[in-house]
Amino acid sequence: MIDVTDWVRLLIVCVVFTATAGAIAWFAGLTKPMPFLGAAARAVVQLAAVSAVITFVLQHLGLTGLFLALMAIVATATSARRAQTGWKGTWVAVAILIGSVPSLGLLIAIGLLPIKGIALIPVGGILIGGAMTATTLSTRRALDTLRDRHGEYEAALALGFLESQAARFLIRQPSAEALLPALDQTRTVGLVTLPGAFVGMLLGGAPVWQAGALQLVVLLALLAVEVAAVAAVVELVARGLIRRASQGSEVRLT
């Protein structure tokens, strides 16, 4: 049970970190402070809401499935908004789910993940979140590349390439840059980072080897999920199923 003093310390630390992020972004000319204040406020509200219902959700498998579905919907909306794709952004759901759903199913099928909310929600959230990040980054890079290198795209068409072939040729490598965070996290795990699954299991009293084994599985699953997401984005953009609603190129952090 956290006492009043601990709550005060927690509040102070959160305010300091949020204010620091906003101040640095403002003084460095990166963006306005408001996105950071808004993100922090949303995090407080959302975590409070999740904390209030999570115990009840974890006890009912049906509600666990609905919670995972909600995660996927929010991930899709977030990715579509970041990529500024408008209503066609719903296609990013394909990229987010094409790897995360089979990966979660495989972990359940082989018995590494019990069919319980306490296991499904954290691991499912990690996979969906990783897919969302890779989808957002690769979609932005792919659409920016098509805009900035439109002359090369037209030249490829003049040489006889199909529209999808020309687009695919241009966007593959830029889109693949979205995989760098996952690759670096996997390469440096244990040396630079100790990811959440590992730390959480240790804090929960699990043996170190068991925590390490689970974290290894999660990291490798994330790699597969994110590669699948990026590959799906390339194909969807190349086929014209994902397009930017407007040609505005500004980076929106709100």
7 domain-assigned: yes
244 domain-assigned: no
One domain for residues 73 and 197 = yes
251 domain-assigned: no
Supply the pLDDT for residue 186.
86
Burial of 209 (0-12, 13-18, 19+ CB in 10 A): exposed
Distance (Å, whole) CA 228 – CA 96: 8
- C-alpha dist (Å) from residue 155 to 144, 159, 170: 18, 6, 11
144 domain-assigned: yes
Supply the pLDDT for residue 251.
43
One domain for residues 51 and 69 = no
One domain for residues 100 and 195 = yes
One domain for residues 229 and 155 = yes
185 domain-assigned: yes
One domain for residues 37 and 127 = no
One domain for residues 18 and 102 = no
Cβ neighbours for 234, distance < 8 A, ≥ 6 positions apart: 138, 142, 168, 171, 172, 175
One domain for residues 39 and 121 = no
Contact (CB, 8 A) for 78 and 39: no
Q: pTM value?
A: 0.79
- C-alpha dist (Å) from residue 174 to 156, 157, 158, 179, 200: 17, 20, 23, 10, 34
245 domain-assigned: no
- Count the domains in the chain: 2
249 domain-assigned: no
One domain for residues 141 and 186 = yes
Contact (CB, 8 A) for 58 and 117: yes
Distance (Å, whole) CA 131 – CA 225: 6
Burial of 28 (0-12, 13-18, 19+ CB in 10 A): exposed
pLDDT tens series, the chain, 254 aa: 556 787 788 889 989 999 999 999 899 888 888 888 888 998 888 888 877 777 777 777 888 889 899 999 999 999 988 888 766 668 899 999 999 999 999 999 988 888 888 888 888 999 999 999 999 999 999 999 998 988 888 898 888 888 889 999 899 999 999 999 889 988 887 777 666 666 665 556 666 666 677 778 888 999 999 999 999 999 999 998 888 766 544 444 44
Q: Which of 27, 58, 89 is the last residue of a domain?
A: 58
Domain hosting 28: range is: 1-58
Q: Which of 58, 86, 104 is the last residue of a domain?
A: 58
174 domain-assigned: yes
Distance (Å, whole) CA 239 – CA 70: 28
One domain for residues 76 and 1 = no
One domain for residues 122 and 230 = yes
One domain for residues 110 and 26 = no
Distance (Å, whole) CA 126 – CA 215: 11
One domain for residues 129 and 141 = yes
